[in-house]
Amino acid sequence: MRLGIDLGGTKIEIVALDAGGTIRHRRRAPTPQGDYAATLSTMRALVDDAEARLGLATPIPVGVGIPGSVSPATGLIQNANSTCLIGQDLAGDLAALLARPVRLANDADCFTLSEATDGAGAGAPLVFGVILGTGVGGGIAFNRQLLAGPNAIAGEWGHNALPWPQAGELPGPTCYCGRRGCIETFLSGPGLSRAYREAGGLSCQPDEIERRAKTGDATARAVLTGHAERLARALAMVINILDPHVVVLGGGLSNLEELYAEVPRLWRPHVFANHPRTRLVQARHGDSSGVRGAAWLWPGGWTG
């Protein structure tokens, strides 16, 4: 048995997984906004409650998915859109509070680990996991192990420039990271909504844009076609560098059904191979993948 926590901007979720990957306990709580100490207390309360409900007398492993990463240089949190985490020793503080070791990973990495372990990428040697939501993130798993680098940013494709830019795409929208034209600014949910507004559509969410496209809205149809083409270019760049066996999509925009047929067709001119064989699939575990992957950060368990 192991525990996984997904530390999100609006909610904190905990699950307990058994050795076969079955969820034995699950609970969510609101994330205390901008309050680091309260965030720690909420995570402790969730862990205490889980162990009490499971009837566990001894502590079990805890993995945590975070909206950022741990800086290898300082051991402190960096690049977190939950800004109260930035500069904090989250791993050390939480380990002291829970009286056990804690493993942290970026939430996109946790998503990728989950899908590579027993999800849509199971059995594939090299998996690139993609989150298309409020932001755009990615992770890399090789033989069910996360790939980590010296900067703890492996898979951060969302903060590269959109490749092979077309007319009207330069210099691109401003990104929170301080640059312009990042993939995230085009392919995130807010990016898709902005593209629809700029094309003359109403202000609405991606699922409504998809509904409008299906009911004959020509503007919505054109925007979704452009979105698929941009995603194809962005993923072609990843394929040319990494050559993954499987690309798994998660996040709210992964529910756009047409992506799975259109994007592989559209990436062909940009992939440096005559017949690209990389598969594009939707996440098997949906919005549970991140928290499940956090639990899988302890692949062999912890003996205390």
Residue 162 falls inside a structural domain: yes
Which of 122, 96, 135, 155 has its CA nearest to residue 251? 135
Range of the domain at 220: 122-283
pLDDT value for 160:
96
How many folded domains does the chain comprise?
2
Closest to 16 (Cα-Cα) out of 45, 47, 43, 58: 47
Domain co-membership, 247 together with 276: yes
Domain for residue 263, yes or no?
yes
Report yes or no on 209 lying in a domain.
yes
- 129 in the same domain as 102: no
User: 87 CB contacts (<8 Å, ≥6 apart)?
Assistant: 76, 77
271 and 127 within one domain? yes
- The answer to whether residue 83 sits within a structural domain is yes
Cα Rg of the chain (Å, integer): 20
d(CA 192, CA 209): 9
Query: What's residue 79's pLDDT?
Result: 84
Res 91: pLDDT:
95
DSSP class of residue 233 equals H
Q: Are residues 161 and 259 in the same domain?
A: yes
pLDDT digit string (tens) for the chain, length 304 residues: 899 999 988 889 999 999 888 999 999 999 999 999 999 999 999 999 999 999 998 899 899 999 889 999 999 999 887 889 999 999 999 999 999 999 999 999 999 999 999 999 999 999 999 999 888 999 999 999 999 889 888 999 999 999 999 999 999 999 988 899 999 999 999 999 999 999 999 999 999 999 999 999 999 999 999 999 999 999 999 999 999 999 999 999 999 999 999 999 999 999 999 999 999 999 999 988 999 999 999 876 554 4
The answer to whether residue 116 sits within a structural domain is no
Position 301 scores a pLDDT of 54
Residues 72 and 131 in one domain: no
- 41 shares its domain with 176: no
> 245 in a domain, yes or no?
yes
CATH code assigned at 32: 3.30.420.40
* Same-domain pairing of 68 and 129: no
User: Which of left, alpha, beta for 183 (phi over 0: left; psi -120 to 50: alpha)?
Assistant: alpha
Do 268 and 205 fall into the same domain?
Answer: yes
